[in-house]
Structure 1
Amino acid sequence: MKTLILFASKYGAAEKCANLLSEKLNGDVNIINLKENKNINLSDYDKVIVGCSIYVGNVQAEIKNFCDTNSVSLMAKPFGLFISCMTDKKDEINSYTEKSFSNELINHATIIDSLGAVFNFKKMNFFERQIVKMILNSKNKTDELNIKVDGKTNISTISDEKILKFASVMND
């Protein structure tokens, strides 16, 4: 079996998830950053996993456009979708995917989940750091998260457990 993990990432979270996931999948696994390589032949693969980060409530345009353009090919094989975001709530995950992907592709997916997030403050500008700090502090107040945020120390909420579950489903 040959599996493709296709991803796009703003700050590296989806890339980190793709790399960790690749280590848990059976068979040959290729990882392709869609921002660096747009020339992909899906017929070379038995399974496809698409990963993207959520930035300002949206997935990267490259991912959305690729999935729209290649939906027929994606629907012809086992397909998984992961997002990198700061929620585990199914309704929020569904909201992100429903506004970015076709219902047909969502219904075809073997698994859809959030694998966690990474906040690399060194890669963010001042405005982005402030917004992330405000959102995380707000989530801390509602007990949704319990993460100390200083705007300087990088944060990772990537879940090894979710990566193992995702790989297990895709390996079946």
Structure 2
Amino acid sequence: MEKVLFLFSSCEGQTKKILNHIEQALGEQYSCEYMNIHNEPNVDFSAYDRVLVGASIRYGHFNKKLYAFINKYQAQLSQDNVAFFCVNLTARKEGKDTPEGSAYIKKFLIKSPWQPALIGVFAGALRYPRYNFFDRTMIKLIMKITGGETDTTKEVEYTDWQKVSEFTQVFKQQGCRK
């Protein structure tokens, strides 16, 4: 049985929901463990056969704790059994849902010392009723500017689960320590 570590940086929980889907898609021959990067975990990468880092965008940026984690574990992250994916609402639009078309991934690759070999980009979810007044107002404004949903009574999940499953298959084929 292969051991997989899921490291995540999430604002509203969609990144972790995507990891749950990936765990199911991996199947029973994989044992998965989750760690929240925001809790600043100490990680022994050698205890895992594969590692997947998932992070969401909030107001155009990854959480600063993601970059602190990357700086701390740069050497371990640079192994061939480690992959990365980004979750954002911009990826709901075709062409912005790939590493090549994602402005967030382009900025990440410039700012980060870690250059993952495998990168995924997934659309997130819009959860207006769960947001506080400020976030609801700001996100509505951003969605209005970008042609998205502005009805603040709605929750919309933009994640393409088939695309997540396809990414999972590539992750399964990726280098492994064994």
The bucket for the TM-score relative to the shorter chain is: 0.7 to 0.9
Where do 5+ consecutive residues of structure 2 fail to align? 174-178
* Residue 53 (1) aligns with residue 56 (2): yes
Deviation for aligned residue 1:6: 0.4
Contact 2:86 2:105 in 1 (8 A): no
Identity %: 22
* Matched position secondary structure for 1:28: strand
Question: Which aligned pairs between 1:80-159 and structure 2 lie closer than 5 A?
Answer: 80-88=83-91, 89=96, 90-102=101-113, 105-106=114-115, 109-140=116-147, 148-159=149-160
Contact 1:12 1:118 in 2 (8 A): no
Alignment-derived partner of residue 17 in structure 2: 16
* Matched position secondary structure for 1:10: coil
Contact 1:24 1:164 in 2 (8 A): yes
Q: CA, structure 1 residues 115+91, in 2 after alignment: closer, same or farther (shift >3 Å)?
A: closer
Contact 1:67 1:101 in 2 (8 A): yes
Contact 2:55 2:86 in 1 (8 A): yes
Contact 1:19 1:31 in 2 (8 A): no
C-alpha separation between the residues in 2 aligned to 1:117 and 1:91?
Answer: 13
* Residue 165 (1) aligns with residue 166 (2): yes
Contact 1:49 1:80 in 2 (8 A): yes
Deviation for aligned residue 1:15: 1.3
Amino acid at match of 2:54: G
Contact 2:83 2:171 in 1 (8 A): yes
C-alpha separation between the residues in 2 aligned to 1:86 and 1:12?
Answer: 13
C-alpha separation between the residues in 2 aligned to 1:5 and 1:133?
Answer: 31
Deviation for aligned residue 1:37: 5.9
TM-score, reference length from structure 2: 0.81
Contact 1:48 1:77 in 2 (8 A): no
Q: What is the number of equivalent residue pairs in this alignment?
A: 162
TM-score, reference length from structure 1: 0.84
Deviation for aligned residue 1:100: 4.5
Amino acid at match of 1:16: K
Q: CA, structure 1 residues 132+63, in 2 after alignment: closer, same or farther (shift >3 Å)?
A: same
Amino acid at match of 1:124: Y
- Describe the superposition over 1:31-79 as per-residue Cα deviations: whole angstroms up to 9, x where unpaired: 2222346132211111111111101111112221111110101113412
Amino acid at match of 1:87: T
Amino acid at match of 1:75: S
Alignment-derived partner of residue 144 in structure 1: none
